[in-house]
Amino acid sequence: MRPRSPLATAPPDSIPGVSILRPLKGLDANLYENLESTFTQEYPNFEIILSVADEQDQALPVARDLISKYPSITARIIIGEEVVGVNPKVNNLIRSYREATHDILWVIDSGVSVAPGTLARSVDLLESSTHTRPPKRRVALVHHVPFVSAPEGFLGSRIEEAFLNTNHAKMYLAINTVSIESCVVGKSNLYRRSDLERVNGSLKPRAHTESNDDQDCTHGLAAFGKFLAEDNMIGSALWHELDLRHDLSCDVAHNAIGKMSLSDYVWRRVRWIRVRKYMTLAATIMEPFTENLLASSIAAASLWYLFGIPIWLFLVIHHAAWLWVDLDVYESLAGHPLPADRRWWFFTAWCLRELLALPIWFLAMLGNEVMWRGKKYEVLRAGEVKGTSGGDGNHGGLFTRWRQLDSHYQPLPSNYRDS
């Protein structure tokens, strides 16, 4: 049970206002419920800005329906992107970012739903460091652990669910607990526009008085349009350039995955490993040694050589313990035990994830091109990307076919109408 923030019942003029920015593209799984979760936040002072790049976007009827349903909530739609780089999410967000009423921005993906008290608890964390004695490094960004569900039941979706709710969540929580480096996923992030306007993505520490050369650089959200992983780069810029820190909320960013095939899953993981290796090469090289199969194989061989412990005995104990820890992480994030009718699917997906981890890593390390939203990009130094020509990304075969990885949107039913 998460505690209720006192900000939830405070007078509106006594707490900082928040602008909630939700970039939309197509019909994500559970889109209506995802967007509605921001309209029902228990916080007295916020606005919602929903943005789409195209006036024909299928998400528009859903957005308009919710605005009509909640007339007491300050909400509006912005149609049309502004191209500031190759990242379509940043291009979609840039107008909302500039037109937002409040300094505190909550950027939350359209595929994410959150609990009603999430905003109040997040603002608590963002403001907490300004009142501590002695003062600590100020919190510049509050983020939420992604927690995934796969209602469609596709194989790739199940494996993605097992990965994000166990291995990924475990590492994400550990890195942010140790807090020696920035580690941010952009499903749901809260930060101040005034802070973002002081950084440019160079990751070089900045003086309070900036030079003339620095003033010629692009600052703010537009500076991150050249990166594919703009979320992680924003977090790193606030951390390194301004010497500010992040805080991880007790809430989760609940993400429902749509139709994801096994091929989609493989190339999605390849994409982000290829981006990471140009951002944090040393950590990416060491990544296989954090995986269950390789770590247990090395340990089993060492213990057999040093102490004569049977390899098979150690592997059985190790894999069982690893699974138990992963299952505990999953259930802790979910807030309830894994339902009995889903255990078989979870164990199957978990095993497949473990078996695929090393082949996917090797495949990712052998290239530098990725597909994202149907477009091909070449990954450059520091995670920057540039668009490349070459086909529509749909050539057939698991390891030769490039699929439109993130467009797991449901087609609008022919009988859909505004209610």
The residues assigned a catalytic role are 231
Q: How far apart are CA 312 and CA 300, in angstroms?
A: 8
CB atoms near residue 11 (< 10 Å): 8
Cβ atoms of 28 and 373 within 8 Å: the answer is no
Cβ atoms of 157 and 257 within 8 Å: the answer is yes
Q: How far apart are CA 29 and CA 377, in angstroms?
A: 26
Q: How far apart are CA 30 and CA 44, in angstroms?
A: 26
3-state secondary structure labels for all residues of 128-170 = HHHHCCCCCCCEEEEEEEEEEECCCCCHHHHHHHHHHHHHHHH
Across the chain, which distance is largest between two alpha carbons, in Å?
71
Under 8 Å CB-to-CB from 280, ≥6 apart: which residues? Answer: none
Q: Is the peptide bond before 134 cis (omega within 30 degrees of 0)?
A: yes
Q: How far apart are CA 399 and CA 263, in angstroms?
A: 8
Cβ atoms of 233 and 186 within 8 Å: the answer is no
Q: How far apart are CA 62 and CA 39, in angstroms?
A: 13
The alpha carbon dihedral of 350, 354, 359, 360 has a sign of: positive
Cβ atoms of 162 and 346 within 8 Å: the answer is yes
Tokens 């981006």 correspond to what residue? 275
Residue 363: Cβ-neighbour burial (10 angstroms; 0-12, 13-18, 19+): middle
**377: β partners:** 370, 387
